[in-house]
A and B are shown apart, each in its own frame.
Chain A
Amino acid sequence: MFKNYLKIALRNLKKYKIDSFISLSGLAIGLCCCVILIMYVRFEWSYDNFHTNKNSIYRLTGQTVNSGNNEVRHSTIHPYPQSIALEEEFPEIKSLINISGGSAQFLKDGKYILEPIKFVDPEFLSEFTFPLIFGDSKTALSNVDNIVITESAAKKYFGKTNAVGELMTIRLRDEPKDFMVSGIAKDVPANSSIQFNFLLPFENQISSASAKEQKTLSGSWYIGFLETWITLKEDANKEDLEAKFPAFLERHFGNSWVERNQIQYGLQPLSQVYFNENYRSGVTQSSNKAYSLILGSIALVILLIAGINFMSLTLSRYTSRYHEIGIRKTIGAIRHQIKFQIIGEVFITCSFAIILGIVLAELLAPYSGVLFQKELDLSLLSDPVLWISVLGLLVILTLITSLYPAVKISGKNATSLFSDDRSAQKIPVLIKGLIVVQFGLAITLMIGTYVMKGQINFILNKDLGFNPENVVAVEINSELQNALKIGQLYSTEAQRIPGVLSTSVTAGEYRDYSKYGIVDIGMAQMMSATTLSQLGDGIPSEAVDAQYLETMDIELVTGANFSKQANTFPSDEIIVNQAFVEAMAWDNPIGQILEDKPEDQGWVGPFDGKKVIGVIENYHFKSLYDPLQPMVLQHIETVERNPGTILIRLSSDRMPETISNLKSLWNSIAAQEAFNLAFMDDMVQRQYNEEIRWNRIIRISSMASILLACFGLFGLSALVAQRRIKEIGIRKVFGASIKNILVLISKDFVLLVICGFAISPPVAWYLSNQWLTGFSYKIDLDALPFLYGGLTVLLIALTTVSWQSVKAAFQNPVENLRNE
């Protein structure tokens, strides 16, 4: 009997080739997309899961409230003495690990290469699960002169994996120093929020600073530069420890400081580190949870659409099976046998499609990095979750798809099955409803995609207040002793190169930090504490020279720029931006002198007594995630800061030649330093890499879902056209034009798509608005994305349906009637 059913099922698949192909491959493709997307979402959610101690590792977080505007600020940066005090005062802490990120110059083949590094306490290797291939985790970092590198770093620098005992020459500051490789770590898994290639003992972070800085870094409670990670003892619990923090803060920072800033400390479990929207950290990577949720939903929508395709095609195919089932009934098949046959058939086709989908996903998984722009290892087949959910899907899909026809058809008596055979031309209401849902979803996604695209274009094209185009940033190691001299010399010499319009030396390190998970370029990163409540909890400032405004194309609103004559000005001149003037509520800013010297505190703000000589237009020195802030420009020579970057504005023609001239100039001035040049506009764009990347993923996934929906529509319209072929023949014989036939067939489907369009805008509007609230600068939602979204989908759907209608309309009516 089973063989008989199988035979019938297979022969039916063969008979209705197009729609079997569509329902099978549609489900397979849908499942394949869904599996890959879900695997990626699972990858995103699997961050830091591999640590065996993951449940006892926490990061210390701090929260302050700006007394001026009540803005809440989150930070993971802490001062060094605090770590020592924490460890001494709280016995429940098993171990405390200081981590900070930085960069260092590594000597390779006579040149220094800048590499990102991490300074960590020795317990880092034993508390986190970063196993060593060679070396001992317990002792590898206990010697200050040791370094632990990853397998791939070892291959890069030594051409072999086991490099234990080798020496590496590293310049943390001015003088190069030799470190001995004491351990080779396995490459860090892609789903680790802490990424590293080089680990140095934490002491090096402090000892690499200048003598004066060393004292501040190691002694000051007010200068934060490290992240504090804590593992708790087994019997300790997070809440109890957190409850002790307020007393700890008062003990060490004093009552008034804590109260004024409303400081609160907390412990963030390792599992929450990756999806932290509030805490931007230089040590860990992070991502927006919303995106993976969106992607997960899209994956489910794709699966739903593919499932609906499968259902609607299977259901409409069953209307042509009435005859066969009628015969079976006259021969003596009872109701449950008919049910079993239908359910069994659907089960077989469904499992076939699902196996196909899994195979497809397995084949495509290695290429998924192209879409996600992340190196990840998706091991599909070994994942039990996949198999369980696929099994669940098989059962659910089979039941949903087959139960309705099984119950409906098996309940009819044979005579009505014979007579219903020819009247089964209309699309059942259930299927109509499913199509409306399908297209409602597809249009919602499409609208969302348009909104996202609009927002990203808005951000990328927004007037930043400076012009990043044609500006290059040449890196200079600010730790060099004569960095300012080198910078100024290079800057002056570079101006002689044809194609260079203007140059400027600034203290800011204009680097692409996106690989550290930070979205700032690094402009105006110096943050100075202040007691002026109008300015909140700090004043960002940048040390620049007189050509800065010209090079960056920033407009001076009133007052004067810094003087171009070097060393001839008093050291109290500052230039502020308009936001600063507004915050201070000055009517006439020029000549104002800042007073930043509170009576009750034992310290003086660094901007106390500074005189405003000019006001510049606001410019976005931070990314557009942050609103504009008051800021200050100082002359670099007056603040004892070394330059971090030389900015150069180039003319747009013959750029490659100019750049190669800049490089040879660099090599003649600072031969030992690697020449690193980055385009400002690229850096600006890279701040939004994560948005651009996600937008791409979501756009492509949405397209896939729309194509799948149309795939189903195609199959269904083919089926309907085939059913109505006799009707079309008769109509043509009696004078219907091609146009009449087209309208006849397409009308119903187009109506359904329009119904789908009607339900999508409220949903799309709500979701888009939710997403946009994350931006400080955003587009206004207007009707356009909705119109575009609806029209795009309608157009694709119309093309799909008319394909079949045209085919039906052009067929020779005589032939159709004869075939019938």
Chain B
Amino acid sequence: MIKLRNIDRYIDKRLQRNFILKGIDLDIAEGDFVSIMGPSGAGTSTLLNIIGFLDDANEGEYFFLDEPVHGLNEKQKSEYHRSYIGFVFQAYHLIDELTVYENIEMPLLYRKVKGSQRKSMVADMLDRFNIVAKKDLFPNQLSGGQQQLVGVARALIGSPKLILADEPTGNLHSDQSKEIMQIFKKLNQEDGVTIIQVTHSDEMASYGDRIINLQDGAVTENNPYEEE
């Protein structure tokens, strides 16, 4: 599904070139549950952003579903965002001015889903995550875990093939973290959704079936578990 070849991402500063990512080669198949790990500044988030078309690589090739991403225009990228990729962020990134219901509904608006269908889809999601009672609250009236549930619900409502989660549990305590991870696990196993998450926690990484370790912008260990 995802094929990265020799990806470089750098920032030029006067005489120096600072590499955030250097020479990344990576293959992720459909149905994988991958955890990207690495210390702060190792380029984990950048890698995820590049995979999710939020950022562009400076060098190298990226094929998404065998299509070269570097050749996609903005409209096509948005098309993928709408129907293939869902994002979950550490800081939740909910829109403060919209209620829980409206936040979850928003992706459907961009996909021009009809009103009645939208309603039932959002209701489904609310039901699934047990947040029906909270649907008219605003994000700042929720706890962190609840906000992240909304974030996940929003990512899932478009029934994406790929979920990109940037430290989804970074701001949550362990019970809430487990809940989110179980949801991911279930999605991966039952619905075959590909999941790529960035995490610093070994426990969270263990929910996945593959771990990619990043160090100073380069892959140091690709799937350490397999070698065991």
Chain A interface residues (CB < 8 Å from chain B): 1, 4, 7-8, 11-12, 15, 323-324, 326-335, 337, 413-415, 418
Chain B interface residues (CB < 8 Å from chain A): 49, 52, 54-56, 74-75, 78-83, 87, 93-98, 102, 105-107, 109-112, 154, 158
Contact partners of A334 in chain B: CB under 8 A: 74-75, 78
Contact B81 A7 (CB under 8 A): no
Contact A8 B97 (CB under 8 A): yes
**Complex CA–CA separation, A330 to B107 (angstroms):** 10
Contact A332 B54 (CB under 8 A): no
Q: How far is the CB of A20 from chain B (nearest CB, A)?
A: 13
- With A7-B102, A15-B96 known, 20 other A-B pairs at CB within 8 A are A4-B105, A4-B106, A7-B97, A7-B98, A8-B95, A11-B97, A324-B96, A324-B97, A327-B94, A329-B81, A330-B52, A331-B106, A331-B107, A331-B110, A332-B78, A332-B82, A333-B78, A334-B74, A414-B49, A415-B54
**Complex CA–CA separation, A4 to B110 (angstroms):** 11
**Complex CA–CA separation, A327 to B107 (angstroms):** 10
Overall SS of chain A's interface? helix
Contact partners of A330 in chain B: CB under 8 A: 52, 54, 81, 87, 93
**Complex CA–CA separation, A11 to B158 (angstroms):** 26
Q: How far is the CB of A754 from chain B (nearest CB, A)?
A: 35
Contact B110 A332 (CB under 8 A): yes
**Complex CA–CA separation, A415 to B98 (angstroms):** 21
Instruction: Kindly identify which residue among B78, B83, B93, B109 contacts A327, using a CB–CB cutoff of 8 Å.
Output: B93
**Complex CA–CA separation, A418 to B158 (angstroms):** 22
Q: How far is the CB of A723 from chain B (nearest CB, A)?
A: 16
Q: How far is the CB of B163 from chain A (nearest CB, A)?
A: 12
Contact partners of B105 in chain A: CB under 8 A: 4
Contact B54 A414 (CB under 8 A): yes
Determine which residue in B79, B98, B112 has the highest number of CB atoms from chain A within 10 A of its CB, and name it.
B98
Instruction: Kindly identify which residue among A8, A15, A337, A418 contacts B110, using a CB–CB cutoff of 8 Å.
Output: A337
**Complex CA–CA separation, A1 to B106 (angstroms):** 8
Q: How far is the CB of A776 from chain B (nearest CB, A)?
A: 65
Closest to A410 in B: B74
**Complex CA–CA separation, A418 to B45 (angstroms):** 13
Contact partners of A11 in chain B: CB under 8 A: 97-98
Determine which residue in B56, B96, B97, B154 has the highest number of CB atoms from chain A within 10 A of its CB, and name it.
B97
Instruction: Kindly identify which residue among B49, B74, B80, B154 contacts A415, using a CB–CB cutoff of 8 Å.
Output: B49
Q: How far is the CB of A274 from chain B (nearest CB, A)?
A: 55
Contact partners of B83 in chain A: CB under 8 A: 332
16 inter-chain pairs at a CB distance below 8 angstroms, sorted by A residue, are A1-B109, A8-B97, A328-B106, A328-B110, A329-B81, A331-B107, A332-B110, A332-B111, A333-B78, A333-B110, A334-B75, A334-B78, A413-B56, A414-B54, A415-B54, A418-B93
Q: How far is the CB of A797 from chain B (nearest CB, A)?
A: 32
Contact B97 A331 (CB under 8 A): no
Contact A4 B102 (CB under 8 A): yes
Closest to A2 in B: B109
Closest to A414 in B: B54
Closest to B80 in A: A332
Instruction: Kindly identify which residue among B56, B75, B98, B107 contacts A8, using a CB–CB cutoff of 8 Å.
Output: B98
Contact A15 B97 (CB under 8 A): yes
**Complex CA–CA separation, A4 to B103 (angstroms):** 10
Instruction: Kindly identify which residue among A15, A323, A335 contacts B93, using a CB–CB cutoff of 8 Å.
Output: A323
Contact B54 A413 (CB under 8 A): yes
Contact B95 A327 (CB under 8 A): yes
**Complex CA–CA separation, A15 to B105 (angstroms):** 22
Query: Which 7 residue pairs spanning A and B have beta carbons closest together?
Result: A332-B81, A332-B82, A11-B97, A334-B78, A414-B54, A331-B107, A1-B109
Contact A413 B55 (CB under 8 A): yes
Contact A332 B107 (CB under 8 A): yes
**Complex CA–CA separation, A636 to B54 (angstroms):** 100
